[in-house]
Every structure is written in structure tokens, then in C-alpha cells.
Structure 1
Amino acid sequence: MDEKRRSAIKGAFFSEFIDMFDIYLPVVVLSPVLFFFQPAHLSAGVEAILASLVFITTLLGRPVGALLFGMVADRIGRRMASIYSVSGFGVITLLIALLPGYNTIGIGSYLLLVALRFLDGICLGGGYTGAMPLAIEYSRKHQRGFVGGFIIAGFPAAYVTINLVAMLMFVLFPLHGADSPYTHWGWRIPFIIGAVLAGCLALYYIFKVSESEIWKSEIGERPEKVPFTDLLRGKSGRNLLQVLIMMSGFWLTQNIITIFLPTTLLSRFLHLSHFQLTSTLLISYAVLFFSYIGAGLIGQRIGRRRFFAIIGPVIATIGAAILYVLANVDGLTLPVIMLLVCVLSVIVTSPWGVIVTYINERFVTDVRATGFGVGFSLSVIIPSFYAFYMNWLSAIMPFHVTPVVLLCLGGLIGMVGALMGPETKDVDF
């Protein structure tokens, strides 16, 4: 049993790692050469829209994949859902690496890229829907907090890794125009690496990971299957609503840190150079690897619900104050900016060290994978439009203040959503 437990937990960690590695490939590796897939002489507005679609379509595919593979995980097993989804995004990532450019097949090149990223998002959404419930179900009750924090720590580990890989590619294949080595070959290598990693993970699940004993004992031998509608009604339906409210708040705060902070605040407000920006983010994400695990351990000790109830107001006060300083105070030195970014990131993203365990504990075995996948992914949609909310708020307040308001709002919504549910750390599966 101990060997099965370790294999399931390691599989979930690497599933999160490879999931995040593939999701951030276009942002880090492909964004400098998106012109390879597009016609020349586009306006800045059109270029921005085309660039955003490459990332957004992946996010839109994730809730679809979470629902589809969640049902697969609840009906035929967590392990098989993981094998199918990992194999899927491995093949799709490899196909992206082989795509021809605009000069070869015209606008079809860009359309294929967007379509493949949407399909990639579906498979990536299924990657954690099977793997994480499998790992949490194998975990001992008193270790579930650590396991959840350790699994989600795969996200910052992947971010650091892909940036280091990208830096190496820029050195080996210089980027200096449409005919440069990076434009034609350099960007493809990280995608091939992502595909190989996915293939290795699929083989790991095939040969090393066993199906959840809890799922087999409760669901695997049952002749009738639980319909998806059971997730939407009764106690499971109320649990899902509570999780969606809580997660909407914490996704809003997360987006401020993972998207607004690097793309707007640090680069446009604080005018950091590319090297300064990359260094700041690499340091902060390295710190997050350990803070996620620490948050999981704290949640295990004091309770998941209590953790969320405390950290929500902390985000809305201390986190918001730090963000205000970064966005509005001039003359900050680089070391001070790095320190504030690290502290802000640890505070605002700490709920994620507890979230994986908590959501799995909120659902019974019959609908656990589907409930986790839908609750985790569907809640990202409304917060994803944070830039529109900032634009609307700028009509009544300075734009630099709008992310602070959203951070406060997200922290309080996350707290309220958590208080709507019970404590779960002593739940038996």
C-alpha cells in the first residue's frame, strides 16, 4: 500500500508540473515568434487579440476537459482518466511542435495553432481531474494537507523550469528576425520536451500507478453508474455551489498575481527590464514552491475552513496594502520590489496549498473527480475577465487603484465561500 500511495502522489505532482509546463509554453516560448503564424503588418490591436487567443483558448478548454474526464474518472477510474488525458496532451503538444508557418499554409497555420491549443486545454483539464483525486484518496488522513500542498507546488516548479529552458533556447538559437534560428527551430524544442514528458508520465501511470482502492471498493464493482445530474442536485449540488463561490474569489486574487503582476504592474507600471522582470518572477516562484507546501501543512493543523477564513481578510488587507505600494509608490529599488513581490505572492497564493485537498474532501466518491474538476476549473471563467472589471472601475477611481480593489474583493469572496461550507480535515473517505 505504501508503494501505491507514493506512486499516486508522485504521479499527481508530475501531472501538475507537466500540465503547467504545457500551459505556459505559448506565454514564455512562443510569444516572441507568434508572427511566424500570422500575416505581416497587422495593427497592434489585432496582434494583441491574436496573441491572447492562443492562451485564452487553452483556458476555455480546461473546464470542458475537467467535466469530460471527471465523468470518466468517476465511472471507469481515476487512473484510466489520467492515462487518456496525459496521452492526449502529449500528442497534441507534439503536433504543435510540427506546425508549419504562415509562409507555408497561410492563415491556416494560426487557426491550427489555436484549435490545437483548445484541444490541449481539454486534455490538460483532464490531467488533474483524475490524478489529484487519485492521490488524495491514497493519502493518509493526517497527511492530506501536505499532499495537496506538494501536488500544487508542481506549478511554480514548472514555471521556473520552462523559463530556464526558454533562456537556454534563446542562447542556443538566437532570435533576430523572421529568418533567425529561434523562429524556425528554437521554439519547437520546448514543445517536443513537453510532449516527451507527457509520454513518460503516461507510461508511469500505465506501469507504476494503481487504481484508487477507495474508488474500487465503492464504485468499481457497482453495476449501475451514478448520473452526472447527481453532482448538480441535493447535497453535492450545494457543495458544488459553495466551492464555486469560494474558488471564484481565490481565482480572482490568483489572476492578479499570475497575470496582472508580471504583464502589467512590473513591466508597465514599474518599467522593469526583461532581465529584472524574469529574475523577480523566478525568485518569487521558487519561494512559492515551499510556501504552497507550508500552507498545506498549516491547513492540516488548524483546519482548511479556518485557514481560508483567516487568509481571506489577510489578502484583503496586508496583500492589498503591498499591491498598493507596488502600484502607486515611486522610486522603489529592485531589491525592495523583489521582496514585496515575494511576500505578496506568498500571501495571495497561499490558499492554493490547501485548495486541492479541500475540494476533494467536499465531495463523495461517486462524484469526487467530477466535482473537483468542475469546481476547480469552471470557477476560473468569471475571474478571467479581471481586465474588463479594472477598466470599468477606472471610470470612478484611478486605474492604479483598481487591482487593489479587486484583490480585496477576491479575498473576501473566498472567505465568505469557505465559511459557507464545513470543516473537512477530519472527513473520512
Structure 2
Amino acid sequence: MTTDTGHAAHEHARKHAQRGAFFGFFVDMFDIYLPIIALAPAMGYFISPDLSDTATAITSGMIFAATLVGRPLGALLFGRYADTKGRKNATVVAVSGFGALTILIGLLPGYETWGMTSVVVFVALRFVIGVFVGGEYTAASPLAMEYSPKERRGLNGGLIMTGFPLAYVVVAVITFVMLQVAPAGEVSSPYVQWGWRIPFFIGGALALSFVIYYLRSVSESELFEGSSGGAPVKDLFSGQNLKNFIQVFVLMTGFWLSLNCVTAILPGQLSGELGLGETEVTVTLIIAYLMVAVGYVVAAVISQRVGRRPFLIVWGGIAGIGGTAVYAVLLATKPDSLVAVIALTTLLAVLVLSVWGLTTVYINERFHTGVRATGFGLGYSLAVVVPSFYAFFQTGLSSLMPMQWTVLPLLVIGCVLISVGGAMGPETKDVDFAAVDAAAEGAGGTADPAVDGPVRGGAAH
């Protein structure tokens, strides 16, 4: 009876940890998309109308980039905190932080009231939010993976990652509805004055509601509670941990570069080269991202059967060849039919982005418990830096080819890095977290989970 009770309690904790990781990732991606989607029609509220187009573009870019810059710092700070003080505590602090600040942004006065101070404060707040956002997935995802039996880690990791595309869909739908209720236009228009605030208030409320759920329902990781602590940042950048980190960094650089080709470059080409209206672009991307969410889960489940390593190697080739071919067809044919555009865009997004379904599970499998949160957070976040300069890479390539085609070599390079990064690492789907921790403790805080773990013991759960 005691055994049955313990198993039931563990299963209860596992389910809530899984749900918590999904909703945590959903609310932090919701926050990431707010300035990209919800604020875009109201950017004139914060930016001086006297600025040139170039200065306006730079200022808008700073608002988006501020969060990206903050994320690696958040991964470092909260990764260490999660590896020494607990995954649950780190998650609660991180989500509380960006939830409260998101509501604060929704209350900010604009350029007419504060002048340039308004955009300076906005950028500063977005940077701090980026720090908190980087902390959320750094803590919550390892907790969920540590509760997952190894035979279900693929599915659970894929489900967590669906928060990424689903957050885009929800923000896009809310923004679309608000634009119907409060149309955008001049600075005095309803959406510019107050309509954009509603999605921010919703985002903040979702985050704070998540905190209440997490405090009440999610238990601390059993593996973390059984670990002996240490110096996670120092341990991560030494010995085998450092080799594992470098491999993850190469892999994730490919992930981010290929992602930017679809999520950052493609929308502009849909409205520019293909001439789609704002509503048509929104509908196209909503449909594509809904299918990408399905692709995440399918990819993760397949990797659970065939192995993460062969899946990453092969899928990098599929995305590089198939995805690039579909992208080229879309740009070359410029279909007049919206249905054709939606079909090609959806196929492109599924081919290129489905591999992201492995991100949470694979990175967590590459590190032992003592450095898992730090390794996951920094491996995920630091790799975004170089791919974020995609616009500069496009400018350089434009001396060799027309600008619209410069996305294609970037996509190929990103997919090659995925295959190379996957090939650099070992197979991980059968990694036993508990056995890895025993090996790491015996090796002075450094071990290769895929090599040292499975031979040391049985299943963790």
C-alpha cells in the first residue's frame, strides 16, 4: 500500500511538473511575442514621428533585441540558482518578475507624455524581462524532465515545446480581435492609445496565474533534492561538461539560425515579395504554426523510437534540402492563390521547425543534475546571439545574389549545423538521470550522461 501511495504521489507530481513546464514556456513565449505582434501597430505611441525610417527601424529593433540580450544573463543567474536552490523556487521568481513587469509596460505613458524617455524605459524593462524569461525555461523544463520516465521524455519534451508556436497563435488572435474592436491608425487612434495595452495585461495576468498554480501544485524535483550541490557554472565549463556544452552550442546555433529564416525573415517576404496584406499574413502564419505544434510532438515521439542522434542528423538534411527547396519555390512562383501560399508556408515551417520538438528533452539529457539547469539555460540562450545578426549576414550575401534569395544559404547553413551538432554528440534517449548523477559525483562533478549513465544503474523511476 505504501509503495502504491508513493507511486501515485510521484505520478501526481510528474503530471503537474509537465503541465507547469508547458504553461511556463507558453507564458514566457507569449511575453516574447507581445512587442513583435501586439505592439507593432502601435509603435508610434513610443517612437517620435520625427524620426527617420532608419532610426525608427533601429529603435523598434532595440525593443525586440533587448529581451534577447537579457535571456542569456537570465539563464546564467537563474541556472545557477536552480542548480543550487531549487528548480521550483527559480521558476516562481522568474515568472513573477516578468509577469509584473509586463503589466507595468501596459501602464507606460508614451512619447507625447515622456518624450524619448518612454522608449528608453520600455527598452530597459524589456531587457529585465528578458532576464526573467531566460530564468523561467532554465528552471521549469529541467524539473519536468527530471520527473519524466526516460521512455516518455520525448513525448513530454515535445509537448512542452508546443508552447512556442501556440503562444504565437494566441497573441496573434488576441491582437487581431483587438484591432477589430479598437482600430489602429494615427497616434490618437484607439488601438495606439489603449488597445495594445490589453494583450500586455492579459500576458501579465497569465504569468501571475501560472505562479499561483506552480506554488500550489508543483513539487520540487526529487533528483535535485537528492543531489549534493556544488558550483554549477564552474563545473559546466570544465572537463566533459564543457565538451557537452560546446556540442549543444553548435547544435542550437543551427536551430536558431534556421528558426530565424522562418519566423523573422519569412513574414516580411510574405508581405513584401508576395504582396500579402496584414490579415492574410496573420492567417497564413497562424495556420502554419498550428501545424508546427503538431510537428513538434511527432518529431519528439519519432526520436524516442529511432534515437535523438540519428533523428537530428537526418532531419538536418531533410530541412536543409526539402525546406530550402520549398522556400525557393515560394519565392520564385509568388502564387496568386492564398491557399497555395498557406500550403507552401505551412510545409516550409513544418519541415524546418519540427526538429525544435527535441530541444527541451535533448539538452536536458546532455547534462547531469548538478549542472542541468545551467547547461540547459545557457546552451539554449547563448546560441541565439550569432543567429540574431541574420540581417547583417543577408546584407553581406546581397553582394553575391538578390536580397530576396539571401535567406536560402542561411537556411542551408543552419540545417548543416543541426546535422553536424547532432553528429558531434552521442545517443541520449536511454540516459538514466539517476545513474548519471552517481557517475558525476564519482568523477568530481563532470560526466557524459550518454556514456557514463546507463552502465551505472537502472531506471530512475
Tell me if TM exceeds 0.5. yes
Cα distance in 1 for residues equivalent to 2:163 and 2:82? 21
Q: Which residue of 2 is the match for residue 305 of structure 1?
A: 309
Classify the secondary structure of the residue corresponding to 2:50.
coil
Distance of 1:394 and 1:175 partners within structure 2:
34
- Is 2:120 the counterpart of 1:116? no
The answer to whether the 8 Å contact 2:292/2:349 transfers is yes
Which range is displaced more, 328-337 or 347-356?
A: 328-337
Match of 2:279 in 1: 275
Conserved 8 A contact 2:44-2:192: no
Distance in structure 2 (CA, Å) of the matches to 1:171 and 1:399:
34
Which of the residues 219, 228, 237 maps onto 1:232? 237
Offset, 1:174: 2.1
1:106–1:400 Cα change, 3 Å: closer
Pairwise CA distance, 1:289: 1.5
- Give the secondary-structure state (helix, strand or coil) at the position aligned to 1:426: coil
How high is the TM-score relative to the length of structure 2? Answer: 0.90
Q: 2:167 aligns with which of 154, 158, 170?
A: 158
Q: CA RMSD in A?
A: 1.1
Distance apart, 1:185 and its partner CA: 1.4
Deviation by residue 1:71-98 (Cα, 9 ceiling, x = unmatched): 1100000000100100000111011011
* Residue 116 of structure 2 corresponds to residue 107 of structure 1: yes
How far 1:178 sits from its partner (Å)?
Answer: 1.5
Residues 1:387 and 2:391 aligned together: yes
Q: CA deviation at 1:103?
A: 1.6
1:331 offset after TM fit, Å? 4.1
Match of 1:257? 262
Name whichever of 172-181 and 143-152 sits farther off.
Answer: 172-181
CA distance in structure 2 between the partners assigned to 1:399 and 1:173 by the alignment: 36
**Equivalences for residues 38-77 of structure 1 within 5 A:** 38-77=47-86
Question: Hey, what's the Cα distance between the residues in 2 that align with 1:52 and 1:126?
Answer: 23
Checking the alignment, whether the CA contact within 8 Å between 2:155 and 2:297 is kept in structure 1 is yes
Distance 1:38 1:401 in 2: 31
* SS of match in other structure, 2:370: helix
Q: State the partner residue of 1:410.
A: 414
What secondary structure, in the 3-state scheme, does the structure 2 residue paired with 1:228 have? helix
In the alignment, the residues of structure 2 paired with residue 376 and residue 317 of structure 1 have an alpha-carbon distance, to the nearest angstrom, of: 25
CA distance in 2, matches of 1:380, 1:40: 32
**Structure 2 residue corresponding to 1:248, chosen from 219, 230, 253:** 253
Tell which deviates more after alignment, 368-377 or 180-189: 180-189
Q: Is the 8 A contact 2:258 2:410 kept in 1?
A: yes
**Alignment TM-score, normalising by the size of structure 1:** 0.97
Find the counterpart in structure 1 of residue 338 from structure 2: 334
CA displacement, residues 196-255 of structure 1 (integer Å, 9 cap, x when unaligned): 111111111111100000111123xx5xx2241110010000000000011111111011
What SS is found at the alignment partner of 1:249? Answer: helix
Alignment of 1:337-356 (within 5 A): 337-356=341-360
Superposition pairs of residues 93-104 of structure 1, within 5 angstroms = 93-104=102-113
Q: d(CA) in 1 for partners of 2:131 and 2:292?
A: 26
For the residue of structure 2 that corresponds to 1:190, the secondary structure is helix
- Return the alpha-carbon distance in structure 2 between the equivalents of residues 414 and 8 of structure 1: 29
Q: 8 Å contact 2:335–2:341 — kept in the other structure?
A: no
Query: In 2, distance between residues paired with 1:61 and 1:22?
Result: 13
Q: 1:332 deviation in Å?
A: 4.7
Q: Map of 1:361-372 to 2, 5 A cutoff?
A: 361-372=365-376
Identity of aligned residues (%): 47
Counterpart contact for 1:328–1:400, Cα < 8 Å = no
State how 1:11-22 maps to structure 2 within 5 Å. Answer: 11-22=20-31
> Which residue does the alignment assign to 1:373?
377
Gaps of 5+ in 2: 1-9, 434-461
- Structure 1 range deviating more: 394-403 or 281-290: 394-403
Question: SS at 2:226's partner residue?
Answer: helix
Report runs of 4+ in structure 1 exceeding 6 Å deviation. Answer: none
CA distance in 2, matches of 1:309, 1:160: 29
The letter of the residue matching 1:96 is I
